[in-house]
Structure 1
Amino acid sequence: MALWDRLKESASQMQTQLVAKKNDLKSGAFRDASMAMCALVAAADGTVDPSERQRVAQLIATNDVLQNFPADDLRRRFEENLDKLTADFAFGRVGVLQEIAKAKKKPAEARAVVQIGIVIGGADGHFDKDEQAAVREACYALGLPPHEFDL
């Protein structure tokens, strides 16, 4: 199976697993960590162009699992995290990883945050090395082994 096909299949499986847990993923910590993860993946290469910002914002608005939260609130939180990263990437990354770490107390939420990162990263069909590294870094912040997610 080609890498492209495995990536699409993996992202699809992650999304299916997330939808199955949707009713358990309603906490503020999960919401905040998910939006921080989306921003971290969007800015993984150190920059965020407007089309990428719009694409990720659209994915957030249409993701079934995130429907537990108001879309405008999610977008605002996503944008705030992106602003931190674009203002000073190294310093912003520290703050964003702290937001992600909020989900550490609940293992199911922590895993769901990582899965959202993988779904967002793979949504364009290309989960590149920078995006993988960003999700791997988030795994460490959440106390999860990256190999659990093939990272």
Structure 2
Amino acid sequence: MALWDRIKDSAASMQTQLNAKKNDLKSGAFRDASMAMCALVAAADGSIDPSERQRVASLIMTNDVLQNFPADDLQTRFNDYCQKLTADFDFGKVGVLQTIGKVAKKPTEARAVIQIGIVIGGADGDFDESERAVVREACFAVGIAPSEFDL
């Protein structure tokens, strides 16, 4: 199977798993960690170009699991995290990873945040090494071995 197909299949599988847990994913910590993860993946290479930001924002708005939250609230939080990462990537990443780490004590939410990172990263069919690296860092922030997600 081609790498492209494996990435698409993996992202689709993660989304299916997320949808099954939708009713368990309604906390404010999950919402914040999810938006932090989306921003982190968007900025994985150290910058966020406008088209990438728009693509991730549109994926957020169409993700079934994230429909538990008001769209304008998600957009505001995503933009805030993006701003922190573009202002100073290294410093912003520390804060974003701390936000992601707040779901560490809730394994269902922690795994869901990692899965969202994988879905967002793989949505364009190219889950590149910089995206994989930031999702690995997020795994450590929530206390999950990256190997659980083949990272």
Q: Deviations over 1:48-99 (max 9, x none)?
A: 0000000000000010000000000001000000000000011000000011
Q: Which residue of 1 aligns with 2:40?
A: 40
Partner residue in 2 for 1:117: 117
CA distance in 1, matches of 2:35, 2:102: 12
Residue in 1 that maps onto 2:56: 56
Structural RMSD (CA): 0.4
Unaligned runs of 5+ in 1: none
What's the counterpart of residue 10 of structure 1?
Answer: 10
Aligned positions, number: 151
Q: In the TM superposition, what is the alpha-carbon distance from 1:120 to its structure 2 partner? A: 0.2
Which residue of 1 is the match for residue 96 of structure 2?
Answer: 96
**Which whole-Å CA distance do the structure 2 matches of 1:146 and 1:31 have between them?**
21
Which digits, 9 at most, give the CA deviation of each residue in 1:13-69, with x for residues without a partner? 000000000000000010000000000000000010000000000000010000000
Letter in 1 for 2:16: T
Q: State the TM-score, normalized to the length of structure 2.
A: 0.99
Moved over 4 A (4+): none
Post-superposition Cα deviations, 1:91-140, rounded to whole Å, max 9, x if no partner, equal 00000001101111100000000000000000001000000000000000
Q: Which residue type is aligned with residue 58 of structure 2? A: Q
Q: Percent identity?
A: 77
